[in-house]
C-alpha cells in the first residue's frame, strides 16, 4: 500500500490523511486516491478566512475545488508538485514544490484562497502608549506588490499509532524573497461509522526574509516605518479541525475550522491590526 497525503480543501487549508491504492481498492473510502487516476472534486458552502491586515477585508469562501493525481512516484495535489524519493510501511519522503501562503492576505485571488481544504494583545501593540506624538499611519491602499512565488524542498511523513507527523523545509525557487519556511505538523484521525474527525496542531516557521518581504515596510510606503519595524524570523502556531460525514460514495458533508496565533515578530508590523487569523467552512463536497 502506498501511503500519502491528499488535501481535502488544499495545501493552504486543511490536510487530511489519505492513501493511494491500485485499481478499485478504494471503494467508498473518501480518504483514498487510486494510483493513476485523477481525483477531482468541489466543495460548495459558506466560510470566511479572517484577514489580519489593517483595512483589508476578510476573505469569503463559497466554492473550493480539489484536483489531484498520484502516479507511482510523481504526484500533483492542488498546486503541489512532488516526487516520492523513498517510502516504507511507516514513512514517506517527498521532494515537493508548493506556493507561498502569506501572499493570500494581500490578494483575494491568490491560489491559497482558491485551494483552501478579534482583538489586540496589549503585549503586542504597535503603538507606544508613552509616545507624545502619534506614529504615522500607513495607507494600505498604496502598498507595493507582494509577488507570487513558488517554494521547493523536502517533506517527510511518519505514520504512527498516535497519528501522522509531517516535517517539511522549503525555499523560495523564484528569488522573490530568498526566504525559507519550515513546518512541523501532527494529525490525528478518528473514524466513527459514517463520521470522520481529524485534529491537527501545526508549527509554521518563517525566516526573516519571508517576514520582511510580506510584512515589512518599503521606504516608498513609509520612510518612518521602514526604519522603525525590523523583521525577524517568526513561528506561527495553529490548531485545525476537519469533520466529514459520508452521505454517499460521492457526497460528503464538511465542517472545517482553523485558528492561527501569529508570531509577535509578524504582529509587530504596522500592517496588522490582529494577532490571529481564523478560517471556517461549512458545506457539501462532491467527488467526481
Give pLDDT tens digits for 165-215. Answer: 999 999 999 999 999 999 999 999 999 999 999 999 999 999 999 999 999
Question: Contact at 8 Å (CB) between 159 and 167?
Answer: no
Q: How many CB atoms lie within 10 A of CB 126?
A: 17
Any domain includes 133: no
Any domain includes 77: yes
pLDDT at 17: 37
pLDDT at 97: 95
Distance, C-alpha 115 to centroid of its chain: 9
- Residues 166, 187: Cα–Cα separation, whole Å: 8
Any domain includes 83: yes
Q: Is the pLDDT of residue 16 over 80?
A: no
pLDDT at 124: 34
Q: What is the CATH number of the domain that holds 201?
A: 2.40.160.40
Which of 125, 188, 180 has the alpha carbon at shortest distance from 161?
188
Confidence of residue 119 (pLDDT cuts 50, 70, 90): very low
Any domain includes 70: yes
Number of domains in the chain: 1
Q: Is the pLDDT of residue 120 over 60?
A: no
pLDDT at 13: 42
Distance, C-alpha 232 to centroid of its chain: 21
Any domain includes 81: yes
Confidence of residue 136 (pLDDT cuts 50, 70, 90): confident
DSSP reduced 3-state for 227? helix
Any domain includes 139: no
Any domain includes 231: yes
* Residue 208 belongs to domain spanning: 2-119+148-287
Give the pLDDT confidence of 241-280 residue by residue, as tens digits: 999 999 998 999 999 999 999 999 999 999 999 999 999 9
pLDDT at 133: 59
Any domain includes 108: yes
Question: Contact at 8 Å (CB) between 196 and 246?
Answer: yes
**Can you read off the three cell numbers belonging to residue 66?**
480539489
Confidence of residue 100 (pLDDT cuts 50, 70, 90): confident
Average pLDDT, the chain: 85
pLDDT at 135: 81
- Residues 172, 99: Cα–Cα separation, whole Å: 9
Q: Is the pLDDT of residue 43 over 60?
A: yes
Whether the model pTM is above 0.85: no
Amino acid at each position: 500500500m502506498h501511503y500519502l497525503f491528499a488535501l481535502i480543501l488544499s495545501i493552504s487549508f486543511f490536510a487530511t490523511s489519505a492513501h493511494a491504492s491500485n485499481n478499485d481498492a478504494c471503494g467508498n473510502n473518501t480518504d483514498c486516491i487510486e494510483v493513476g487516476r485523477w481525483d477531482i472534486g468541489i466543495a460548495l458552502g459558506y466560510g470566511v478566512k479572517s484577514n489580519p491586515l489593517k483595512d483589508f477585508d476578510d476573505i469569503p469562501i463559497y466554492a473550493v475545488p480539489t484536483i489531484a493525481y498520484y502516479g507511482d512516484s510523481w504526484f500533483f495535489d492542488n498546486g503541489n508538485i512532488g516526487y516520492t524519493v523513498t517510502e516504507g510501511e511507516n514513512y514517506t519522503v517527498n521532494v515537493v514544490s508548493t506556493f507561498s501562503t502569506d501572499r493570500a492576505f494581500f490578494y483575494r485571488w491568490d491560489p491559497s484562497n482558491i485551494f483552501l481544504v478579534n482583538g489586540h494583545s496589549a503585549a503586542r501593540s504597535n503603538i507606544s502608549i508613552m509616545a507624545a506624538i502619534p506614529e504615522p499611519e500607513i495607507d494600505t491602499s498604496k502598498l507595493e506588490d507582494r509577488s507570487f512565488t513558488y517554494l521547493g524542498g523536502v517533506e517527510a511523513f511518519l505514520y504512527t499509532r498516535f497519528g501522522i507527523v509531517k516535517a517539511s523545509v522549503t525555499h523560495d525557487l523564484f528569488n522573490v524573497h530568498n526566504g525559507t519556511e519550515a513546518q512541523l505538523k501532527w494529525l490525528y484521525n478518528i473514524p466513527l461509522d459514517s463520521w470522520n474527525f481529524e485534529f491537527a496542531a501545526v508549527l509554521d516557521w518563517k525566516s526573516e526574509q519571508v517576514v520582511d518581504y510580506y510584512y515589512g515596510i518599503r521606504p516608498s510606503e513609509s520612510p518612518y516605518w521602514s526604519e522603525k519595524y525590523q523583521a525577524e524570523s517568526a513561528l506561527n502556531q495553529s490548531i485545525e479541525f476537519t469533520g466529514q460525514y459520508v452521505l454517499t460514495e460521492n457526497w460528503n458533508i464538511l465542517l472545517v475550522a482553523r485558528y492561527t496565533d501569529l508570531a509577535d515578530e509578524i504582529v509587530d508590523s504596522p500592517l496588522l491590526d490582529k494577532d490571529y487569523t481564523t478560517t471556517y467552512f461549512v458545506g457539501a463536497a462532491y467527488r467526481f
